[in-house]
Amino acid sequence: MVSSEPIIGPIKPYGPPIRDAVASGDTGRMRRVSDNAHRWLEEYPHHKDAGEVRAALADLDSALTRA
């Protein structure tokens, strides 16, 4: 059975989807992905994947400032 309950809290971002958002050029999508990734990093700053997420997020935030 699939739960109809909404997911609460930030969902763990991964490098490839973050980089895909950059490649899309869709600023709305990029902002949503950036907001989610920043929230996730605030909650899980020491997660084993945090370094990968930070690196991809830096590229995304840089692209947003150029957009």
Q: Give the pLDDT confidence score for residue 62 in this predicted structure.
A: 95
Structural domain spans, the chain: 15-66
Q: Give the pLDDT confidence score for residue 51 in this predicted structure.
A: 94
Tell me: pLDDT of 10 over 80. no
Q: Where are the alpha helices (DSSP H) in the chain?
A: 15-24, 27-43, 50-66
SS3 10: coil
Tell me: pLDDT of 16 over 50. yes
- CA-CA distance, 20 to 45, in Å (whole number)? 22
pLDDT tens digit string along 36-46?
A: 999 999 999 99
Q: Give the pLDDT confidence score for residue 29 in this predicted structure.
A: 92
Tell me: pLDDT of 2 over 90. no
Alpha carbon dihedral 54, 11, 19, 2, in 10-degree steps, equals: 160
